Copies of this chain bind each other. A is one copy, B any other.
Amino acid sequence: MLTGVIIMLTERQLIILQVIIDDFIDSARPVGSRALSKKANLPYSAATIRNEMADLEELGFLEKTHTSSGRVPSEKGYRYYVDHLIGPSTNPNEIRILEDIIQDGFFEFEQIVQMSAEVLSELTNYTSIILGPEMFETTLKQIQILPLSDHSAVAILVTNTGHVEHRSFTIPEKINSSDLEKMVNIMNERLKGVPIIKLQEVLHTEIALLMRMYIDDFEKSFDYLKAFIVTDNPVKLYIGGKSNILMQPEFNDVDKIRSFFTMMEKENELANILKNSKNGIEVTIGNENEVDAIKDLSLITASYHMAGDHMGTIALLGPTRMEYKKVISLMKGLSNEMTDAMYMWYRNDD
Protein backbone atom coordinates (compact mmCIF):
# COMPACT_ATOMS: atom_id res chain seq x y z
CA MET A 1 0.00 0.00 0.00
CA LEU A 2 3.05 2.29 -0.37
CA THR A 3 2.72 5.23 -2.67
CA GLY A 4 5.78 6.17 -4.61
CA VAL A 5 5.86 9.66 -3.20
CA ILE A 6 6.19 10.13 0.51
CA ILE A 7 3.78 12.80 1.58
CA MET A 8 4.99 15.15 4.26
CA LEU A 9 2.41 16.55 6.59
CA THR A 10 3.11 19.20 9.17
CA GLU A 11 2.73 18.34 12.81
CA ARG A 12 -0.43 20.40 12.94
CA GLN A 13 -1.91 18.74 9.90
CA LEU A 14 -1.30 15.39 11.47
CA ILE A 15 -3.11 16.38 14.61
CA ILE A 16 -6.00 17.89 12.73
CA LEU A 17 -6.35 14.88 10.48
CA GLN A 18 -6.32 12.60 13.47
CA VAL A 19 -8.88 14.62 15.38
CA ILE A 20 -11.17 14.82 12.39
CA ILE A 21 -11.06 11.10 11.81
CA ASP A 22 -11.51 10.31 15.47
CA ASP A 23 -14.43 12.64 15.62
CA PHE A 24 -16.07 11.29 12.53
CA ILE A 25 -15.59 7.70 13.61
CA ASP A 26 -17.31 8.63 16.82
CA SER A 27 -20.15 10.77 15.53
CA ALA A 28 -20.67 9.61 11.93
CA ARG A 29 -21.32 13.25 11.02
CA PRO A 30 -19.15 15.46 8.82
CA VAL A 31 -16.96 17.62 11.04
CA GLY A 32 -16.70 21.36 10.52
CA SER A 33 -13.99 23.85 11.33
CA ARG A 34 -15.91 25.67 14.03
CA ALA A 35 -16.56 22.59 16.10
CA LEU A 36 -12.92 21.57 15.77
CA SER A 37 -11.56 24.91 16.88
CA LYS A 38 -13.42 24.50 20.14
CA LYS A 39 -11.61 21.30 21.03
CA ALA A 40 -9.11 21.67 23.84
CA ASN A 41 -6.17 20.22 21.99
CA LEU A 42 -6.64 22.47 18.96
CA PRO A 43 -5.82 26.06 19.97
CA TYR A 44 -6.35 27.46 16.50
CA SER A 45 -9.12 29.52 15.10
CA ALA A 46 -11.74 28.11 12.84
CA ALA A 47 -10.22 29.95 9.91
CA THR A 48 -6.81 28.44 10.43
CA ILE A 49 -8.29 25.02 10.65
CA ARG A 50 -10.26 25.69 7.51
CA ASN A 51 -7.06 26.40 5.68
CA GLU A 52 -5.45 23.24 6.90
CA MET A 53 -8.52 21.27 6.03
CA ALA A 54 -8.45 22.66 2.53
CA ASP A 55 -4.85 21.49 2.22
CA LEU A 56 -5.66 18.07 3.59
CA GLU A 57 -8.48 17.83 1.12
CA GLU A 58 -6.19 18.78 -1.71
CA LEU A 59 -3.83 16.04 -0.62
CA GLY A 60 -6.73 13.61 -0.78
CA PHE A 61 -7.11 12.76 2.89
CA LEU A 62 -10.41 14.46 3.34
CA GLU A 63 -13.58 14.88 1.33
CA LYS A 64 -16.72 16.90 1.43
CA THR A 65 -20.13 15.36 1.03
CA HIS A 66 -21.22 18.55 -0.71
CA THR A 67 -19.68 21.98 -1.29
CA SER A 68 -20.60 23.49 2.03
CA SER A 69 -20.50 20.51 4.29
CA GLY A 70 -17.95 19.61 6.91
CA ARG A 71 -15.16 17.22 6.02
CA VAL A 72 -15.26 13.47 6.01
CA PRO A 73 -12.21 11.19 5.84
CA SER A 74 -11.52 9.76 2.41
CA GLU A 75 -10.42 6.17 2.03
CA LYS A 76 -6.92 7.48 1.59
CA GLY A 77 -7.41 9.35 4.84
CA TYR A 78 -8.42 6.22 6.65
CA ARG A 79 -5.49 4.43 5.13
CA TYR A 80 -3.07 7.06 6.44
CA TYR A 81 -4.81 7.00 9.79
CA VAL A 82 -4.49 3.24 10.08
CA ASP A 83 -0.87 3.22 8.92
CA HIS A 84 0.48 6.16 10.87
CA LEU A 85 -1.91 7.68 13.32
CA ILE A 86 -2.95 4.90 15.63
CA GLY A 87 -0.46 4.01 18.28
CA PRO A 88 0.69 0.53 19.22
CA SER A 89 -2.20 -1.58 20.38
CA THR A 90 -2.48 -2.72 23.94
CA ASN A 91 -3.99 -6.07 24.67
CA PRO A 92 -7.48 -5.05 25.67
CA ASN A 93 -9.32 -6.19 28.73
CA GLU A 94 -12.34 -7.30 26.80
CA ILE A 95 -10.44 -10.27 25.52
CA ARG A 96 -10.17 -11.72 29.00
CA ILE A 97 -13.60 -13.23 28.65
CA LEU A 98 -12.39 -15.38 25.82
CA GLU A 99 -9.12 -16.09 27.50
CA ASP A 100 -10.98 -17.70 30.37
CA ILE A 101 -13.11 -19.79 28.09
CA ILE A 102 -10.13 -21.01 26.18
CA GLN A 103 -8.03 -21.80 29.25
CA ASP A 104 -10.87 -23.84 30.68
CA GLY A 105 -10.18 -26.37 27.99
CA PHE A 106 -13.72 -27.48 28.35
CA PHE A 107 -14.72 -26.71 24.81
CA GLU A 108 -13.86 -28.07 21.48
CA PHE A 109 -11.86 -25.80 19.26
CA GLU A 110 -14.81 -25.38 16.99
CA GLN A 111 -16.95 -24.11 19.80
CA ILE A 112 -14.26 -21.69 20.81
CA VAL A 113 -14.21 -20.33 17.31
CA GLN A 114 -17.95 -19.94 17.33
CA MET A 115 -17.94 -18.13 20.65
CA SER A 116 -15.10 -15.92 19.57
CA ALA A 117 -17.07 -14.84 16.54
CA GLU A 118 -19.99 -13.92 18.72
CA VAL A 119 -18.02 -12.14 21.39
CA LEU A 120 -16.05 -10.21 18.83
CA SER A 121 -19.19 -9.00 17.16
CA GLU A 122 -20.78 -8.20 20.48
CA LEU A 123 -17.84 -6.05 21.51
CA THR A 124 -17.70 -4.09 18.31
CA ASN A 125 -21.18 -4.10 16.80
CA TYR A 126 -19.69 -5.12 13.51
CA THR A 127 -20.12 -8.46 11.84
CA SER A 128 -17.44 -11.02 12.51
CA ILE A 129 -16.48 -13.82 10.22
CA ILE A 130 -14.11 -16.53 11.24
CA LEU A 131 -12.63 -19.07 8.93
CA GLY A 132 -12.24 -22.28 10.86
CA PRO A 133 -8.92 -24.05 11.08
CA GLU A 134 -7.80 -25.83 7.98
CA MET A 135 -7.28 -29.46 8.60
CA PHE A 136 -3.72 -29.95 7.47
CA GLU A 137 -2.71 -31.22 10.84
CA THR A 138 -5.94 -32.88 11.73
CA THR A 139 -5.82 -36.63 11.68
CA LEU A 140 -8.38 -39.30 12.11
CA LYS A 141 -8.76 -40.68 15.59
CA GLN A 142 -11.58 -43.12 15.25
CA ILE A 143 -14.47 -44.21 13.13
CA GLN A 144 -17.37 -45.88 14.78
CA ILE A 145 -20.63 -47.26 13.59
CA LEU A 146 -23.35 -47.72 16.10
CA PRO A 147 -26.53 -49.55 15.08
CA LEU A 148 -29.68 -47.86 16.29
CA SER A 149 -32.14 -50.41 15.06
CA ASP A 150 -32.37 -53.16 12.47
CA HIS A 151 -32.40 -50.70 9.68
CA SER A 152 -30.55 -47.63 10.88
CA ALA A 153 -27.24 -46.70 12.34
CA VAL A 154 -25.18 -43.70 13.19
CA ALA A 155 -21.60 -43.23 12.06
CA ILE A 156 -19.29 -41.19 14.22
CA LEU A 157 -15.92 -39.88 13.18
CA VAL A 158 -13.54 -38.31 15.67
CA THR A 159 -10.39 -36.38 14.91
CA ASN A 160 -7.34 -35.88 17.08
CA THR A 161 -8.51 -32.35 17.74
CA GLY A 162 -11.69 -33.47 19.35
CA HIS A 163 -13.82 -32.64 16.40
CA VAL A 164 -16.75 -34.99 16.05
CA GLU A 165 -18.63 -35.52 12.83
CA HIS A 166 -21.63 -37.76 12.71
CA ARG A 167 -24.30 -38.89 10.37
CA SER A 168 -27.26 -41.20 10.58
CA PHE A 169 -28.19 -43.50 7.80
CA THR A 170 -30.47 -46.36 7.01
CA ILE A 171 -28.80 -49.63 6.32
CA PRO A 172 -29.74 -50.93 2.88
CA GLU A 173 -31.22 -54.39 2.89
CA LYS A 174 -28.38 -55.77 0.86
CA ILE A 175 -25.70 -54.85 3.29
CA ASN A 176 -24.79 -57.44 5.80
CA SER A 177 -24.28 -55.89 9.19
CA SER A 178 -21.26 -58.02 9.95
CA ASP A 179 -19.73 -56.76 6.75
CA LEU A 180 -20.19 -53.25 7.98
CA GLU A 181 -18.40 -54.15 11.14
CA LYS A 182 -15.52 -55.70 9.29
CA MET A 183 -15.26 -52.67 7.14
CA VAL A 184 -15.14 -50.31 10.04
CA ASN A 185 -12.49 -52.42 11.66
CA ILE A 186 -10.32 -52.26 8.61
CA MET A 187 -10.81 -48.57 8.36
CA ASN A 188 -9.91 -47.95 11.94
CA GLU A 189 -6.81 -50.02 11.61
CA ARG A 190 -5.59 -48.39 8.46
CA LEU A 191 -6.90 -44.87 8.67
CA LYS A 192 -6.06 -43.99 12.25
CA GLY A 193 -3.61 -41.11 12.25
CA VAL A 194 -4.14 -40.31 8.61
CA PRO A 195 -4.66 -36.61 7.95
CA ILE A 196 -8.26 -35.81 7.18
CA ILE A 197 -7.43 -34.25 3.87
CA LYS A 198 -5.65 -37.37 2.70
CA LEU A 199 -8.47 -39.63 3.75
CA GLN A 200 -10.01 -39.96 0.35
CA GLU A 201 -6.71 -40.74 -1.28
CA VAL A 202 -5.73 -43.45 1.20
CA LEU A 203 -9.22 -44.81 1.07
CA HIS A 204 -8.89 -45.44 -2.62
CA THR A 205 -5.36 -46.67 -2.82
CA GLU A 206 -4.93 -48.84 0.24
CA ILE A 207 -8.26 -49.66 1.72
CA ALA A 208 -10.33 -50.38 -1.31
CA LEU A 209 -8.15 -53.31 -2.32
CA LEU A 210 -8.05 -54.75 1.12
CA MET A 211 -11.75 -54.62 1.51
CA ARG A 212 -12.53 -56.18 -1.77
CA MET A 213 -10.72 -59.23 -0.53
CA TYR A 214 -12.54 -59.63 2.71
CA ILE A 215 -16.01 -58.42 2.11
CA ASP A 216 -18.87 -59.68 -0.04
CA ASP A 217 -20.87 -57.18 -1.96
CA PHE A 218 -18.24 -54.70 -1.14
CA GLU A 219 -19.01 -51.94 -3.59
CA LYS A 220 -22.33 -50.90 -2.17
CA SER A 221 -21.20 -50.57 1.40
CA PHE A 222 -18.07 -48.81 0.44
CA ASP A 223 -19.79 -46.07 -1.50
CA TYR A 224 -22.02 -45.58 1.40
CA LEU A 225 -19.31 -44.96 3.92
CA LYS A 226 -17.20 -43.00 1.56
CA ALA A 227 -19.87 -40.39 1.17
CA PHE A 228 -19.72 -39.86 4.86
CA ILE A 229 -16.02 -39.93 5.42
CA VAL A 230 -15.04 -37.70 2.61
CA THR A 231 -16.58 -34.88 4.47
CA ASP A 232 -18.21 -31.93 2.80
CA ASN A 233 -16.27 -28.72 2.94
CA PRO A 234 -13.13 -28.95 4.97
CA VAL A 235 -13.18 -25.33 6.04
CA LYS A 236 -16.03 -23.85 7.97
CA LEU A 237 -17.22 -20.31 8.22
CA TYR A 238 -18.53 -18.87 11.46
CA ILE A 239 -20.47 -15.66 11.29
CA GLY A 240 -21.31 -13.65 14.36
CA GLY A 241 -23.70 -10.76 14.79
CA LYS A 242 -25.10 -10.43 11.32
CA SER A 243 -27.75 -8.17 12.76
CA ASN A 244 -25.46 -6.25 15.08
CA ILE A 245 -24.40 -4.22 12.13
CA LEU A 246 -27.88 -2.75 11.97
CA MET A 247 -26.77 -0.60 14.89
CA GLN A 248 -24.46 1.29 12.57
CA PRO A 249 -25.97 4.51 11.28
CA GLU A 250 -24.70 3.86 7.77
CA PHE A 251 -27.25 1.08 7.53
CA ASN A 252 -30.15 3.48 7.64
CA ASP A 253 -31.41 2.45 4.27
CA VAL A 254 -33.47 -0.63 3.62
CA ASP A 255 -31.76 -1.36 0.34
CA LYS A 256 -28.36 -1.33 1.96
CA ILE A 257 -29.57 -3.72 4.60
CA ARG A 258 -31.01 -6.04 1.98
CA SER A 259 -27.91 -6.10 -0.11
CA PHE A 260 -25.77 -6.63 2.96
CA PHE A 261 -27.76 -9.66 3.98
CA THR A 262 -27.81 -11.14 0.52
CA MET A 263 -24.05 -10.75 0.43
CA MET A 264 -23.65 -12.48 3.76
CA GLU A 265 -25.50 -15.45 2.39
CA LYS A 266 -22.88 -16.11 -0.23
CA GLU A 267 -20.61 -18.00 2.10
CA ASN A 268 -18.33 -19.25 -0.64
CA GLU A 269 -17.47 -15.79 -1.73
CA LEU A 270 -16.76 -14.73 1.81
CA ALA A 271 -14.58 -17.74 2.38
CA ASN A 272 -12.58 -16.89 -0.71
CA ILE A 273 -12.02 -13.36 0.43
CA LEU A 274 -10.70 -14.58 3.73
CA LYS A 275 -8.58 -17.32 2.28
CA ASN A 276 -6.61 -14.81 0.29
CA SER A 277 -5.73 -12.78 3.33
CA LYS A 278 -2.10 -12.70 4.32
CA ASN A 279 -0.53 -13.32 7.65
CA GLY A 280 -0.78 -10.84 10.46
CA ILE A 281 -3.32 -8.07 10.72
CA GLU A 282 -4.55 -6.70 7.47
CA VAL A 283 -6.87 -3.78 6.98
CA THR A 284 -8.68 -3.34 3.70
CA ILE A 285 -10.63 -0.14 3.30
CA GLY A 286 -13.52 0.34 0.90
CA ASN A 287 -12.40 0.10 -2.68
CA GLU A 288 -9.18 -1.56 -1.68
CA ASN A 289 -11.34 -4.64 -1.48
CA GLU A 290 -11.27 -6.64 -4.63
CA VAL A 291 -14.75 -7.98 -4.23
CA ASP A 292 -17.44 -5.60 -5.40
CA ALA A 293 -19.92 -6.55 -2.75
CA ILE A 294 -17.88 -5.00 0.05
CA LYS A 295 -16.39 -2.06 -1.75
CA ASP A 296 -18.10 0.33 0.61
CA LEU A 297 -17.11 -1.53 3.74
CA SER A 298 -13.88 -2.16 5.57
CA LEU A 299 -12.54 -5.56 6.30
CA ILE A 300 -10.01 -6.35 8.97
CA THR A 301 -8.45 -9.76 8.98
CA ALA A 302 -6.11 -11.46 11.39
CA SER A 303 -4.88 -14.97 11.17
CA TYR A 304 -4.02 -17.50 13.78
CA HIS A 305 -1.21 -19.94 13.47
CA MET A 306 0.24 -23.26 14.36
CA ALA A 307 3.99 -23.59 14.33
CA GLY A 308 4.16 -20.66 11.97
CA ASP A 309 1.70 -22.09 9.51
CA HIS A 310 -1.40 -20.16 8.67
CA MET A 311 -4.36 -22.05 10.05
CA GLY A 312 -7.40 -19.82 9.91
CA THR A 313 -8.57 -16.26 9.70
CA ILE A 314 -10.58 -13.95 11.88
CA ALA A 315 -12.30 -11.09 10.12
CA LEU A 316 -14.46 -8.16 10.99
CA LEU A 317 -16.66 -6.42 8.49
CA GLY A 318 -18.01 -2.95 9.11
CA PRO A 319 -18.46 0.45 7.58
CA THR A 320 -15.33 2.25 6.43
CA ARG A 321 -16.01 4.50 9.38
CA MET A 322 -14.75 1.86 11.71
CA GLU A 323 -13.20 2.09 15.13
CA TYR A 324 -9.91 0.95 13.71
CA LYS A 325 -7.88 1.45 16.84
CA LYS A 326 -10.14 -0.54 19.07
CA VAL A 327 -10.79 -3.18 16.49
CA ILE A 328 -7.18 -3.76 15.60
CA SER A 329 -6.10 -4.27 19.15
CA LEU A 330 -9.04 -6.58 19.75
CA MET A 331 -8.16 -8.63 16.72
CA LYS A 332 -4.53 -8.85 17.67
CA GLY A 333 -5.50 -10.05 21.10
CA LEU A 334 -7.95 -12.56 19.74
CA SER A 335 -5.54 -13.88 17.16
CA ASN A 336 -3.04 -14.50 19.94
CA GLU A 337 -5.66 -16.28 21.99
CA MET A 338 -6.65 -18.43 19.06
CA THR A 339 -3.08 -19.32 18.36
CA ASP A 340 -2.74 -20.36 21.98
CA ALA A 341 -5.91 -22.36 21.79
CA MET A 342 -4.67 -24.11 18.69
CA TYR A 343 -1.57 -25.01 20.53
CA MET A 344 -3.49 -26.46 23.41
CA TRP A 345 -5.32 -28.84 21.15
CA TYR A 346 -2.60 -29.82 18.80
CA ARG A 347 0.42 -30.23 21.04
CA ASN A 348 0.09 -33.87 22.07
CA ASP A 349 -0.76 -35.81 18.99
CA ASP A 350 -0.40 -39.49 19.19
Contacts and interface: CB of A to CB of B under 8 A. Distances in A.
Contacts of A107: 167-168
B105 A169 contact: yes
Interface string A133-150: 000000001101010111
B246 A257 contact: yes
B164 A164 contact: yes
A207 interface: no
Contacts of A146: 141-142, 158
A328 to B, nearest CB: 27
A154 B149 contact: no
A29 interface: no
Contacts of A347: 149
Given A149-B349, A164-B164, A254-B251, A156 B154 contact: no
Given A141-B148, A246-B257, A348-B150, A162 B158 contact: no
Interface residues of A, number: 46
Interface in A102-122: 104-109
A161 interface: yes
Contacts of A264: 243
Contacts of A109: 168
A166 interface: yes
Given A243-B265, A257-B257, 18 more contacts: A106-B168, A107-B167, A107-B168, A108-B166, A108-B167, A148-B160, A148-B162, A148-B345, A149-B160, A152-B162, A152-B345, A156-B156, A156-B164, A162-B168, A164-B166, A243-B264, A246-B257, A254-B257
